[in-house]
Copies of this chain bind each other. A is one copy, B any other.
Amino acid sequence: MLSQKTRYAIRAMQHLADFHGKGPVQLADIAEAQKIPPKFLTVILSELTRSGLVASQRGKDGGYWLGVPPIDISYGDLIRIMRGSLALVPCASRYAHERCRNCVEEENCRTRALMLQVRDKTANLLDSINLSDSVEADAFLQAAE
């Protein structure tokens, strides 16, 4: 499951995508529109800003905007940034591979191959949709291979 924080991050990014090219959006506006606790949102937006996906400016008339065009930000990217990996188990992660704790030797693992397949299918989908897509009902059914 995605954490609450990751879900907030996704909604915040969608909001920024909606206002892309229209100047800075303030934290308070995002928080209200997306029902996110404002103080918690500062943590999330700071993280996203550090990652480069979001740009920001302080002071009067400051705010946040996408640091990268929405078409270049996939849902896969967002989840990777917020939770580190798309995989179901650490040893099946491509970008953040790690041994699973208390597990048998990786070579003897009987599910790793399967978990890698799941990860790849998941990545395939999540990386095919980006913040400029509408992601309505079945808008991307064709993207689903």
Contact = CB atoms under 8 A, between A and B. Distances in A.
A8 B113 CA distance: 17
Given A1-B88, A87-B1, A75 B114 contact: yes
A111 B34 CA distance: 14
B126 A118 contact: yes
A125 B118 contact: yes
Interface string A22-52: 0000000000001110000000000000000
A136 B113 contact: yes
Interface residues of A, number: 42
Copies in the complex: 2
A114 B102 contact: no
Interface centre among A10, A118, A122, A137 (most CB of B within 10 A): A118
A113 B138 contact: yes
Given A104-B11, A104-B34, A118-B125, A113 B88 contact: no
Interface string A84-127: 01011110000000001111100000110110011001101110
Q: Which 6 A-B pairs have the closest CB atoms?
A: A121-B121, A2-B88, A114-B135, A110-B135, A118-B125, A14-B110
